[in-house]
Amino acid sequence: MTPASETAGRPDARAKLHGAVRYGTDLESPGMLWGALVPAPRPSGAVRRLDLSAARALPGVVAIGPDDLDRLLPPAYRSAERPLFAAASIDYGFQPIAAVAAPTRAAARAAAEAVRATVDPAPVVADVESIFPDWPGPEAVGSPHVAAHVHAVRGDVDAAFRDADRVVRETYRTASVHQVALEPHACLARVDGDRWTVRTSTQSPFGTREDLATMLGLPESAIEVAGTWVGGGFGGKGAPLLEPYALLLARASGRPVRLALDYAEEFRLGRTTLPAVVRMETAVRDGTISGRRVRLLLDVGAALPGRDFATGYSIGFLLGPYRTPTFEVEGFGVRTHKPPFGPHRAPFAPQCAFVVESHLDHVAREVGLDPEAFRAAHLWREGEATPLGQPVGPFGLAAAFERARATARAWRAAAPPGHGVGVAGGFWSTGTGAGGELRLRLAPSEVVLEVGEREIGSGSVVAGLRAVAVRVLGLPADRIRVESLGTAEAPFDSGVFGSRTVAVLGRAIEAAAAELRSILAARLGAGGPVEFGIDGERIHVRADPAGGRIDRPLADLLTPDERGEGGVVVVGKHYGRGGTIDESLVRAGTFYGYTDFTGAAHVAEVAVDRATGAVRVVRYTAFQDVGTLVDPPAARAQVEGGIAMGLGTALTEEAIWSDDGRLLNPGLLDYRIPTFGEVPPIEVEFLEGFPGAGPFGAKGLGEPPIIPVPAAIALAVREACGAHATELPVTAERTARALKLL
Amino acid sequence: MTGGPIALRVNGVERRASDVPASERLLDTLRWRFDLKGTKEGCRTGGCGACTVLVDGESTLSCLTLTHEVDGRAVATIEAGGESPTMERVRAAFVAEGALQCGYCTPGFVVALTGLLEERGRAASRDEMLEALAGNLCRCTGYAAIGRAVERLRAEAP
Amino acid sequence: MVEFDLVAPRSADEAFAALRAAAPDGAAVLAGGTDLLPDVDEGRQRPRVVVSLRHLPWRTLDWAGPSLTIGSTLPLRALEQDPDLVRRFPGLAEAIRDVGSVALRHRATLGGNVVRAAPTSDLVPVLLALDAEVEIVGPRGTRRLPVDRFVRASRRVDLGPEELVRAVWFPEARPSAYRWQRVRPANDISQVAVAAACSPADRRWRIAVGGVAPRPVRIPSAAEALGAGAPTAAAVARAARAAADAVAFPTDRRASADYRRHLVATLVERVVDAVVRAEGFPR
């Protein structure tokens, strides 16, 4: 526990409660133009003719298309993997084919509508099953429909299935879900000579700069990306989306250009979790899993071939966290005419947990075993190897699962008719990204942590890093401040994603503090451990060498240079590594190891309306393996928020496409995230003592809480009414069908 | 008329604009003419509540309100200061319970709750407060900490 | 973004003149604006002139014996907070509270809802069950029309280009109820909804169904099946079946026709049960 951070609260609360922080959507600049994207009128085909003349004839309008890129960009832009504007091949609906800027928002919209395009239509691939109604054969590998193929085998799977007492086969389907950050994407770009600058609501300023350099053919040194306060990210703001177009329009117009999505565009252009079909086969012998086959058809939208991380990473979550002596796992990332698959809080892991938990629960029922005891008995334990051959590190899942089962027993004893209780586990691994650095400035009266990340909501940047510094330096929270800088001034960091901020930059704080202590120990002549303290406003440096206690104000220890810089400045770095798997098992594609092993087990109680199939979640408890709790209020808030988001994935959220590739519900009325009334009372318990990759053994916590939610709710529904859900979301209509009411 | 002048009393201050188009929304007038950007633009279709302001004390979706329709009336936004003691109470409850994360929905929640508490006085029940927030979407908090802030406001009532 | 002229007449006559002046393109009428403005933004309506009713003195609530007249521009929020209305027209109060959010209901009006006549309206079914009539004013005088005849099809009503709905009239307070099914309980559009009322005068039932194409409809066969006053369980089951059989349900992204048909039967049972337990139910 860290009492100092508890009492300090969020440093950004007051400003946010007075409307005083500025997000991407708030950006403006004198002389600015408003930008708008011109969408492809169909999800597939070729743009035969693009006529910008009517748009350009409007007062103050700048319009650009593919033909303008040669004059706006250096030739290197042509080596980017995807053209900036769709021309010869439209990859998905509403893909930009041109862009406009005008003096007002209304004028920009009118200009976009004035662009005329003639498109030669081509067939639309709306979903994976229209391409592979059965299962892809060997010819599928290398087909233009396949962006990724992963395949791994261990042991004699055929023998395991041949010798099994029982084999259970099922097919599951999961839906596309959107991040729905309340703030739409927005940025403001300007180009001055060869300086390309963009302020943007992003989870990753450095990642955005790197991608922009590739897309625009510019050196990274010519680009500056500065963040804003971010109105929610959840993975959707990790890579450039609008920034290249805003920069091009700024270049073409010579003016600052603001570009923001409206909320319908947010749904149509956002990159997120797409639908999937999963086939699960499990062989059981003597009450134990003896073999598994897992097959995944993942819709990866317009993903570029070879650039699909999703298929290889997610397929591990379809195997684990359960022991199996033999297995065969194969996944195809299938291209469709949707925007490319993109990260959404623990990308595709909640869907995987739903499939794995529901399937193994079903297997246990089929062979007459207690479903929860069956799963518990197969959970990975520390020291054994994962199916892919990586040794399992400290892992709190089995302990969390036992706690969850105990809670479930108590709830079942008190549950009224029509209620059901579900228990589900899930696992995750703290992300490392490409590593990260942080500049620590120890000034006479405060500590400033300078980072290249912006706060996206969880508090990991403004409060989490501060909490780590409180613990590492022993100084109170009100003396520690986090300052976010753009790529021009900040030390490198990968960004806020993968639950990595506190883990990676927290370790960077530890490294910086160690260097700081050794510098100051030398100046004190102490030779031993150095501590920090406060005397009034001033930071003191203390040591207790054998010769007696030394206690000096920091100000007295600064060199003249440091006085000029405002304090002692050190840079802490942390470049973590993922785990290693047994590559001899891999037959195709890339599989990934884990940095650490984070478990979560959740219990849901639901009430099912047996006449309509409607589900209401009555109460919910989460047991989260956190390694070490760094900032308790923020940790609780992460879990509560993750559960509510998972509840939407479980019950109501679903992006629906028509057979001709149109998104039918691009709005917040028909794409239904949970409202206040649907979220039940939530209890959160943390399990410490299973250390992870972060400082003091902390584990990332942004993503793990969402993972078990759809599974826990679906299993509770099954217990309440007998409806076995094999499809997400578990809508009332699907449950009614499972109950054979229709 | 295609447009014309408007006058609003925003957070106790007279604000005027000379040539506001008939189609302009209160949301845009506040944000782009008066630089009161605390009122957030979310969906612009009345589906998220991020743009909620008070018009003569009533919570109102500023994205679905023509500025001219509220000409001459009193508007309160998240930038309101000491002239709204109710809003100060709501803010204090949000701080105490950590009832915000990214903060984008926060102005809408604070303003909607302020409107209800002003409309109902201290008699506002928990259910009424939750009903008043049913149109405000939050993606970060899962509403849990906001619910605790509501409990705190309820407990503070005499 | 569509630009338009905005006029805010001070009297009904001024309003008729404004509507006439806008011909032949026609004008859009603005009450609360919560439907009109999204329609304008999404290009479903492109008015050249918008006539605002904000200055007209129609924000009224008048009781006359058992009957009630609700001015067309009174915000829904004022209705749901009127204790007499909540007690005497429970079904209407329930339906109003199911429209959008509190902030939306501070501006949305009963008149606006009935004139827009969305097939998914949460209010039209209750108006049908309560035998409500709209009071229409125009340059040639005033006329009154039952809602069942006023609402003709999806977003089509019997209203001349220079006419306005001034009020909605309810002949009598009735024990009534409204039940719906939605994917998400709050801030969503009903997949199917059922309103029911039982007249204290003749003890007869009215059942109406919403969420069906092309508009909410009354189901006389279901009302008939219920008989007079408190129905037997068998009568309720017959009414539920009658309602399910009487309507051609649509399949769309919110629900399939099969599911809607199933829901209607269930909701009829529930809504009748609620009416029977309402204050003043004629035994």
Proportion of chain A above pLDDT 90, given as a percent: 93
For C60, other C-beta atoms within 10 Å of its C-beta total 13
User: What token pair was written down for A737?
Assistant: 């069908």
Q: Give the closest residue to A228 by CA, choosing from A242, A245, A249, A214.
A: A242
Please give the Cα distance from A171 to A75 (Å, whole number): 48
Task: Compare CB distances from B102 to A17, A232, A644 and report the shortest one's residue.
Answer: A232
H or E element in which residue A357 lies: helix A349-366
Which CATH fold would you assign to the domain C61-170? 3.30.465
Task: Compare CB distances from C101 to B25, B55, B134 and report the shortest one's residue.
Answer: B134
pLDDT exceeds 60 at position C166: yes
| pLDDT tens per residue across all 158 residues of chain B | 688 999 999 999 999 999 999 999 999 999 999 999 999 999 999 999 999 999 999 999 999 999 999 999 999 999 999 889 999 999 999 999 999 999 999 999 999 999 999 988 878 888 999 999 999 999 999 999 999 999 999 988 75
Q: What is the pLDDT of residues A348-369, one digit of tens each?
A: 999 999 999 999 999 999 999 9
CB A695 within 8 A of CB A472: yes
A262 vs C: CB within 8 A:
no
Nearest CA distance, A459 vs chain B (angstrom): 7
Please give the Cα distance from A559 to A550 (Å, whole number): 19
In this structure, of A522-526, A713-717, C223-227, the range with the lowest mean pLDDT score is A522-526
User: What token pair was written down for C152?
Assistant: 């003709």
A6 vs B: CB within 8 A:
no
- Please say whether the dihedral angle defined by the alpha carbons of residues A452, A453, A454 and A460, taken in this order, is positive or negative: negative
User: What token pair was written down for B119?
Assistant: 């409309």
Nearest CA distance, B3 vs chain C (angstrom): 7
Please give the Cα distance from C43 to B72 (Å, whole number): 29
Task: Compare CB distances from A13 to B78, B100, B104 and report the shortest one's residue.
Answer: B100
Contact across the interface for C30 and B132, Cβ inside 8 Å? no
What is the rounded average pLDDT of the residues A691-702?
96
pTM more than 0.80: yes
Please give the Cα distance from A663 to A336 (Å, whole number): 13
Distances (CA, A) of A361 to A170, A726, C81: 12, 12, 49
Nearest CA distance, A198 vs chain B (angstrom): 20
Rg (CA), chain A: 27
| Residue indicated by tokens 């190891």 | A593
Pairing outcome for strands C141-146 and C133-138: antiparallel
pLDDT exceeds 80 at position A4: no
Contact across the interface for C4 and B136, Cβ inside 8 Å? no
Q: What is the pLDDT of residues A302-322, one digit of tens each?
A: 998 777 788 899 899 999 899
Task: Compare CB distances from A643 to B39, B44, B142 and report the shortest one's residue.
Answer: B142
- Please say whether the dihedral angle defined by the alpha carbons of residues A148, A154, A160 and A162, taken in this order, is positive or negative: positive
Ranges of beta strands (E only) in C31-157 are 49-52, 61-64, 67-71, 133-138, 141-146, 151-153, 156-157
Ranges of beta strands (E only) in C66-203 are 67-71, 133-138, 141-146, 151-153, 156-157, 164-170, 176-181, 192-198
Q: Which residues of chain B are within 8 Å of residue C33 when distances are taken between CB atoms?
A: 64-66, 69
Nearest CA distance, B71 vs chain A (angstrom): 22
| Residue indicated by tokens 């900036």 | A84
Domains of chain A (ranges plus CATH)?
24-123+179-269 (3.30.365.10), 276-431+582-738 (3.30.365.10), 436-574 (3.30.365.10)
CB A103 within 8 A of CB A118: no
What is the rounded average pLDDT of the residues A725-735?
98
Among chain B residues, CA nearest to A15: B103
CB B106 within 8 A of CB B94: yes
Contact across the interface for A13 and B94, Cβ inside 8 Å? yes
Q: What is the pLDDT of residues A625-647, one digit of tens each?
A: 999 999 999 999 999 999 999 99
Domains of chain B (ranges plus CATH)?
3-76 (3.10.20.30), 85-156 (1.10.150.120)
What is the rounded average pLDDT of the residues A667-696?
97
Judge residue A544's burial from the number of C-beta atoms within 10 Å of its C-beta, 0-12 exposed, 13-18 middle, 19 or more buried. middle
Q: Give the closest residue to A729 by CA, choosing from A611, A646, A635, A626.
A: A646
Q: What is the pLDDT of residue A3?
A: 39
What is the rounded average pLDDT of the residues A675-690?
97
Contact across the interface for C103 and B65, Cβ inside 8 Å? no
Q: What is the pLDDT of residue C74?
A: 98
Q: What is the pLDDT of residue B124?
A: 87
Q: What is the pLDDT of residue A8?
A: 61
- Please say whether the dihedral angle defined by the alpha carbons of residues B81, B86, B87 and B89, taken in this order, is positive or negative: positive
Q: What is the pLDDT of residue B122?
A: 75
Q: Which residues of chain B are within 8 Å of residue A28 when distances are taken between CB atoms?
A: 32
Task: Give the DSSP per-residue string, A656-681.
Answer: -B-TTS-BS--STTTS----GGGPPP
What is the rounded average pLDDT of the residues A199-217?
97
Q: What is the pLDDT of residue C1?
A: 56
ipTM tops the 0.85 cut:
yes
Position C103, amino acid:
A
Contact across the interface for A9 and B37, Cβ inside 8 Å? no
Domain ranges in chain C are: 5-52, 61-170, 176-276
Task: Compare CB distances from C54 to B69, B116, B134 and report the shortest one's residue.
Answer: B69
Name the neighbours of C, counting chains with at least 3 Cβ pairs within 8 A: A, B
Contact across the interface for A672 and C3, Cβ inside 8 Å? no
Q: What is the mean pLDDT of chain A?
A: 95
Please give the Cα distance from A274 to A314 (Å, whole number): 12
CB C167 within 8 A of CB C133: no
Report residue C3's pLDDT band, with 50, 70 and 90 as the boundaries. confident
A24 vs B: CB within 8 A:
no
What is the rounded average pLDDT of the residues A377-405?
97
pLDDT exceeds 60 at position C168: yes
Contact across the interface for C5 and B116, Cβ inside 8 Å? no
User: What token pair was written down for A307?
Assistant: 């650039």
Contact across the interface for C38 and B46, Cβ inside 8 Å? yes
Q: Is A187 helix (H, G, I), strand (E, B) or coil?
A: strand
Q: Candidates 1.20.120, 3.30.43, 1.10.3470, 3.40.50; correct CATH number of C5-52? A: 3.30.43
A63 vs B: CB within 8 A:
no
Under 8 Å CB-to-CB from A665, ≥6 apart: which residues? A267, A654, A655, A656, A671, C253
CB C269 within 8 A of CB C231: no
A458 vs B: CB within 8 A:
yes
Report residue A418's pLDDT band, with 50, 70 and 90 as the boundaries. very high
Q: Which residues of chain A are within 8 Å of residue C266 when distances are taken between CB atoms?
A: 611-612
Q: Please tell me the CATH superfamily of domain C176-276, with its number.
A: CO dehydrogenase flavoprotein, C-terminal domain (3.30.390.50)
Q: Which residues of chain A are within 8 Å of residue C185 when distances are taken between CB atoms?
A: 675, 677-678
In this structure, of A1-10, A18-27, B133-142, the range with the lowest mean pLDDT score is A1-10
Please give the Cα distance from A215 to A222 (Å, whole number): 13
Q: What is the pLDDT of residues A474-483, one digit of tens each?
A: 999 999 999 9
CB A197 within 8 A of CB A191: yes
User: What token pair was written down for C217?
Assistant: 């409809």
pLDDT exceeds 70 at position A597: yes
Q: Give the closest residue to B130 by CA, choosing from C189, A639, A678, A646.
A: A678
Q: What is the pLDDT of residue A545?
A: 82
Q: What is the pLDDT of residue A5?
A: 36
